[in-house]
Amino acid sequence: MTATAAPRHDWTLDEINALFALPFNDLLFKAQQIHRAHFDANAVQVSTLLSIKTGACPEDCKYCPQSGHYNTQLEKEKLLEIEKVVEQARAAKAAGASRFCMGAAWRSPRDKDLVQVEEMVRQVKALGLETCMTLGMVDGAQASRLASAGLDYYNHNLDTSPDYYGEIITTRTYSDRLETLATVREAGMKVCSGGILGMGEDAQDRSALLQQLARLSPHPESVPINMLVKVPGTPLENAEDLDPIEFIRAIGVARIMMPQSHVRLSAGREQMSESTQALAFLAGANSIFYGDKLLTTGNPQADRDRALFTKLGLHPEQRETCESTDSQATRLAQQAQQQRLNERAAELAVDAGV
Ligand code: SAM
Ligand code: DTB
Ligand code: SF4
C-alpha cells in the first residue's frame, strides 16, 4: 500500500490483526508515513467539551458516570441555559479551541429540547467556532434540524466491537448506533465516531471496532479513541488497565486504516504520561480535547497542555476547512475583478487615444 492510497472500507480482520502484530517501530513508521501524506505532522486539532445536560441518563453504558443506573455521586444538571453555553464557548475560543463540542446525557433528544439546542448551535457558531454535538440517537427529522441550525459535527460512538457490545450496553443496540450514524451522514453533517479501549475487551475486539469504523463510507471525519476513565460507582471501576503500548498500537492502526480522518486522543489523557501522549501523536493522533474538564471527569489543565505542545513543537491546527477555502475564493474573486477593471481601463485608454 502506498502512503496516499485511496481510503478503504473493506479491511479484513486478518489484515487489521497483521497491522497490530507489526514490530512497534514498523507500525509507527508506517503510521507516520501515512500521517505525513495527509496532514501537517505537527498540527493538532483542538476541541473543547461542555456537558450541556448532566446525569440521570436512562441508558446503562457500564463505563459511564452519567448513567442513572449507577451511583457515581454525580451532581445532575438540567439542560443549560443558552447564555451559559455561549459564555463557555467564548472562553474556549479565547483559550485557543477551534471546535466546541456539547454533550447531553440523553438516550435521544426530545423535540422540545431541540429548539434550545438549535439556538446553542447558532450562537456558538456565530462566535466563529466549529460546532459538534453528542445527544444520543437522532432520527432523520432531528438530524435535519441540527444540520439546518448549522451543526458541523455529530458525535456518536460505536464504543466497542459488535461482539463485546452486549457486555457493555443493553439498552440500545449496535444497529441503533449504526443507524444514527447513517442518519447524521444523510443529513449532511460531518461524523465523529470512535470508541473506548480498556473496558476488558480483547485484542480481537479492538480490531473489530476499527473494522466497523472503517466500514463507514465515507470514514468518519473525526475518530475519537478514548481510554476508559474508571469512575467509582460504575461497573467498570475496577477494569484491568490496558497496556499503554497496546493503546498506541490502536491509534497507529486507526491512522493507517482511516488515513484522512482526524484521530482524536480523547478521554484518559489526565491519567496518561507525557511520553504516552507523545507516542500517540507519533502514531498519528492529531486531535485532542483541551480544557480542564471532559464532560464530567478531569482532563489535563490547559497550561499543562500548552507546555506539552511547546515541548513537542506541536501547534493547534487552524480551521482550514471553510475559512481558508472561503478566503481563497474571495481572494480569487477579487483578483478576477481587478483584472477586469485593468482590462476595461486599458480599453478606455485606447478609445481615448492615450
Ligand atoms: N449520551 C450520548 C451518547 O451516549 O450517545 C452522548 C454523551 S456520551 C457521554 C459520549 C461518549 O463518551 C460515549 O459514547 C463514550 O464513548 C464516552 N465516554 C463516556 N464515559 C466514558 C468514560 N468513563 N471513559 C471514556 N469514555 C467515556
Ligand atoms: C468522545 O469520544 N469522548 C468524549 C466526547 N466524545 C463526547 C466524552 C468523554 C467522556 C469521559 C467521561 C466524562 O467526562 O464524563
Ligand atoms: Fe447515557 Fe451517553 Fe452515558 Fe450512555 S454514554 S449512559 S447514553 S450519557
- Of the candidates 99, 145, 172, 192, the residue annotated as catalytic is 192
Asked if residue 4 belongs to a domain, the reply is: no
Q: What is the pTM of this model?
A: 0.88
Could you report the per-residue pLDDT of 164-200, keeping only the tens digit for each? 999 999 999 999 999 999 999 999 999 999 999 999 9
Please tell me whether residues 329 and 301 are part of one structural domain: no
Q: Is the CB of 98 under 6 A from ligand 2?
A: no
Q: What is residue 40's predicted lDDT score, i.e. its pLDDT?
A: 95
Q: Which domain covers residue 235, as residue numbers?
A: 13-322
Q: How far is the CA of 157 from the centre of ligand 2 (A)?
A: 10
CATH number of the domain enclosing 268 = 3.20.20.70
Asked if residue 1 belongs to a domain, the reply is: no
Q: Could you give the number of structural domains in the chain? A: 2
Q: How far is the CA of 178 from the centre of ligand 3 (A)?
A: 16
Q: What is residue 334's predicted lDDT score, i.e. its pLDDT?
A: 43
Please tell me whether residues 225 and 341 are part of one structural domain: no
Please tell me whether residues 56 and 205 are part of one structural domain: yes
> Active-site residue 322, yes or no?
no
Please tell me whether residues 252 and 331 are part of one structural domain: no
Work out which ligand 3 atom sits closest to the CA atom of 105.
8
Asked if residue 176 belongs to a domain, the reply is: yes
Do the beta carbons of residue 118 and residue 146 sit within 8 Å?
yes
Q: What is residue 342's predicted lDDT score, i.e. its pLDDT?
A: 53
Please tell me whether residues 263 and 315 are part of one structural domain: yes
- To test the ligand 2 pocket, which listed residue (47, 48, 49) has its Cβ within 8 A of the most ligand atoms? 49
Please tell me whether residues 192 and 115 are part of one structural domain: yes
Q: Is 192 annotated as a binding residue?
A: yes
Please tell me whether residues 348 and 281 are part of one structural domain: no
Q: Is the CB of 224 under 6 A from ligand 2?
A: yes
- Of the candidates 177, 255, 264, 340, the residue annotated as catalytic is 264
Asked if residue 8 belongs to a domain, the reply is: no
Please tell me whether residues 294 and 344 are part of one structural domain: no
Asked if residue 79 belongs to a domain, the reply is: yes
Q: What is residue 3's predicted lDDT score, i.e. its pLDDT?
A: 53
Q: How far is the CA of 64 from the centre of ligand 1 (A)?
A: 6
Asked if residue 6 belongs to a domain, the reply is: no
Q: What is residue 255's predicted lDDT score, i.e. its pLDDT?
A: 98
Q: What is residue 49's predicted lDDT score, i.e. its pLDDT?
A: 97
Q: What is residue 270's predicted lDDT score, i.e. its pLDDT?
A: 94
Asked if residue 69 belongs to a domain, the reply is: yes
Please tell me whether residues 208 and 247 are part of one structural domain: yes
Asked if residue 3 belongs to a domain, the reply is: no
User: Residue ranges of the chain with pLDDT lower than 50?
Assistant: 1, 321-340, 354
Please tell me whether residues 191 and 332 are part of one structural domain: no
Q: What is residue 344's predicted lDDT score, i.e. its pLDDT?
A: 55
Please tell me whether residues 236 and 333 are part of one structural domain: no
Q: What is residue 96's predicted lDDT score, i.e. its pLDDT?
A: 87
Please tell me whether residues 212 and 270 are part of one structural domain: yes
